[in-house]
Structure 1
Amino acid sequence: MSDADDIDDIREQKREEMESKATSTGEPVHVESESHFEELVADNRIVLVDFYADWCGPCKMLEPTVEEIAAETDATVAKVDVDEHQGLAQSHQVQGVPTLYLFVDGEPADRMVGVQEKADLVGKIEAAA
């Protein structure tokens, strides 16, 4: 087997690993740490991040929409509790909740503050795909 064949095999194996790691599981992923957040954004092509707080009324209004988007789109949906992860919220200039970020290929593509319409969010996800 040649080096080129070895490289092709390794590329195929890495591609399969990345596809199996994709976390579009049909439900939002609750971020556990800053490194977990970074891993989600790096390992998934499109990530919708919901910065929220348990005490926030508008966040509770948005929650069913976020859950539907996780179930109905290929995007990975991540939820970040701003009280639990204040450093993450601060580093992303979250000053009000809910704040949503759309990451595409590891980079922030859009930032939205406040309750958003499901159709608008799905449209942004589909446009990024």
Structure 2
Amino acid sequence: MTVDTAPDASTATPDEPVHVDGRDELDDTVADYDVVLADFYADWCGPCQMLEPVVETLAEETDAAVAKIDVDANQQLAAAYGVRGVPTLVLFADGEQVTGVQSEDQLRSLIERHTE
């Protein structure tokens, strides 16, 4: 007997960021959750480190799943989403993607608009 442990639409979103490696994992995450905030980052990036507490708070306090994508390990994936600098945040919601929103208040508002 096998047990399906894959999340579905009724599964609660993770309350901490999920590290994603590759397009398949990102596609699965976007398919599994209604709203996904993808954080394209690099370990060496100072602004990424400053944004980390905001991303963690959003994962914990909102209904969005947060996907962390290391651009150094996933260069082709980053290029596919037009990531030219880090940090870059991409929100996947209602079949669309939104980029370029950076402040916690803007992100929280955008997430809440798509999760109500």
Structures share fold, TM-score greater than 0.5:
yes
Specify the alignment match of 1:26 in structure 2.
15
Aligned residues of 2:8 and 2:32 also touching (Cα < 8 A): no
Letter in 1 for 2:9: M
Question: 1:44, CA displacement in angstroms?
Answer: 1.0
Specify the alignment match of 2:83 in structure 1.
94
Task: Find the aligned partners of 1:18 and 1:120 in 2 and give their Cα distance.
Answer: 25
- Computing the radius of gyration from Cα coordinates, the structure with the larger value is 1
Deviations 1:6-33 (Å, cap 9, x if unpaired)?
xxxxxxxxxx94323x5x2210000022
* Count of aligned pairs between the two proteins: 109
Indicate the RMSD between aligned Cα atoms, in angstroms.
Answer: 1.6
Aligned residues of 2:38 and 2:91 also touching (Cα < 8 A): yes
Identity %: 52
Q: Please report the TM-score for the alignment, with normalisation by the length of structure 2.
A: 0.87
The 4+ residue runs of structure 1 with deviation greater than 6 A are: none
Specify the alignment match of 2:72 in structure 1.
83
Q: Please report the TM-score for the alignment, with normalisation by the length of structure 1.
A: 0.79
Unaligned runs of 5+ in 1: 1-15
1:125 paired to 2:111: yes
Unaligned runs of 5+ in 2: 1-6
